[in-house]
Amino acid sequence: MESLAGPELDARLRGFLSEDVGTGDVTTEATVPADRRATGELLARSACVVSGLPVARRVFELLDAGLAWEEDAQAGERVDAGRRLAVLSGGARAILTGERVALNLLQRMCGIATTTRRFVDAVAGTGCRILDTRKTAPGLRPFDRQAVRDGGGVNHRYSLASMVLIKDNHRRLAGGVGEAIRRARRAAPAGMLIEAEVESEDDLLQALAAGADSILIDNQKPETVARWCTLARACARPPSLEASGSVRLDNVRAYAEAGPDAISVGALTHSVVAADISLELTESPASAEPGA
């Protein structure tokens, strides 16, 4: 499931709104007349990479089917602080009630896209891809993965059903990485990709001998990654190679230059720094009170 759309998206967003609104937006209902209309601007208060505007729009539309919306920025676009991202107008109560859910999702998605772009830029020219991980907050994975794509990254497996990925606890309980791969080859659906994490040269050699489709080199220094990549590519049928663990913005290029095909970075989604985005509302002229 690479993204949510239609009824699935609406159901997820309604759940978020239900959590936030509870039995009703008592402040808005007490202070804003039911017929009041408003116009708002979504403004980037920090430089960021844009992601999530269609999601924010749908939040407001679920509360006001007649909402008018105009986007001023595109997904994946870099914008400076002060840039207007979109203009919306509709029922003032609906906009105020949906504001927090819409902004929470938009700020998170722009933050993920911005961080992803920094990692992608850091490895530019190496041919190495930046991957996300399953380290996402429950319920937010489709949104997080879309933001990674908008930032120029590539999605890893969506769920445990997507592919075989043998990690440290699997190999311990299976009796070694080689045995785990052989068991997976017998039991997994035909054609399913089998990836094995390795943390020692012995693990690597076992994974190569067992015919892993992909090898994840975890928690090693760049020089070790380079040596193991050379060993793996000397095989008659070399696997794809991924590096992970201890990867930061200041060392990701060294890892990329070590030779893996991809680097997975959990921090893209598990340590999100939200973009600063605000919604500034003004009363629409059509709803102004007489004599105002």
Backbone angles phi, psi at 176, to 5 degrees: 120, 155
Q: Are residues 213 and 248 in the same domain?
A: yes
- What pLDDT, on a 0 to 100 scale, did the predictor assign at position 55? 98
Full residue range of the structural domain in which residue 24 is found: 6-119+273-287
Higher pLDDT, 287 or 219: 219
- Looking at the domain assignment, is residue 152 inside a domain? no
For residues 246 and 281, membership in a common domain is answered with no
State residue 291's pLDDT score: 41
pLDDT beyond 50 at 290: no
Q: Are residues 113 and 180 in the same domain?
A: no
Identify whether 101 is part of a domain. Answer: yes
Residue 148 confidence (pLDDT) above 70: yes
Cα separation values, 40 from 84, 113, 257, 280, Å: 10, 24, 46, 5
Averaged confidence pLDDT in the chain = 96
Residue 174: helix, strand or coil by DSSP?
helix
The confidence band for 4, taking pLDDT boundaries of 50, 70 and 90, is confident
- The confidence score (pLDDT) of residue 285 equals 78
Do 56 and 27 fall within a single domain? yes
102 and 170, same domain (yes or no) = no
- CATH of residue 91's domain is 3.90.1170.20
Same domain for 214 and 278? Answer: no
Confidence of residue 156 (pLDDT cuts 50, 70, 90): very high
Whether residues 16 and 108 share a domain: the answer is: yes
- The half-sphere exposure of 149 on its side-chain side, counting CA atoms within 13 A, is 12
Q: Is residue 173 one of the residues assigned to a domain?
A: yes
Q: What is the CATH classification number for the domain harbouring 257? A: 3.20.20.70
pTM above 0.85, yes or no: yes
Please tell me whether residues 113 and 11 are part of one structural domain.
Answer: yes
Report the chain's C-alpha Rg in angstroms.
Answer: 24
pLDDT reported for residue 104: 98
| Residue 201 included in any domain | yes
Same domain, 222 and 278: no
The helix/strand/coil state of 181 is helix
238 belongs to a structural domain:
yes
Pair 267, 112: CB distance under 8 Å? no
pLDDT above 50: residue 123 = yes
Could you read off the pLDDT of 248-268 as tens digits, one per residue?
999 999 999 999 999 999 999
Helices first, then strands: H and E counts in the chain: 11, 12
- Tokens standing for residue 280: 């500034």
Does the pLDDT at position 138 exceed 90?
A: yes
pLDDT value of residue 286: 64
Does residue 141 sit within a domain? no
Burial per residue of 13-51, b for 16 or more beta-carbon CB atoms within 10 angstroms, e otherwise: beebbeeebeeebeebeeebeeebbbbbebbbebebbbb
State the catalytic residues: 100, 135, 167, 197, 218
Helices 92-122 and 6-21, packing angle to 10 deg: 110
User: At residue 105, does pLDDT exceed 80?
Assistant: yes
- Residue 62 has φ and ψ, to the nearest 5°, of -65, -20
In this structure, are 83 and 49 located in the same domain? yes
Q: Report the number of distinct structural domains present in the chain.
A: 2
The answer, yes or no, to whether residue 101 has pLDDT greater than 90, is yes
13 plus 80 within the same structural domain: yes
In a domain, 145, yes or no: no
| 127 is a domain residue | no
12 and 100 assigned to the same domain: yes
Coil, helix or strand at residue 185: helix
* Predicted confidence (pLDDT) per residue in 42-80, tens digit: 999 999 999 999 999 999 999 999 999 999 999 999 999
Residue with tokens 């440290």: 168
Q: How far, in Å, CA of 13 to CA of 113, rounded?
A: 20
- Give the pLDDT mean for 27-56: 98
pLDDT digits (tens, 9 = 90+) for 233-250: 999 999 999 999 989 999
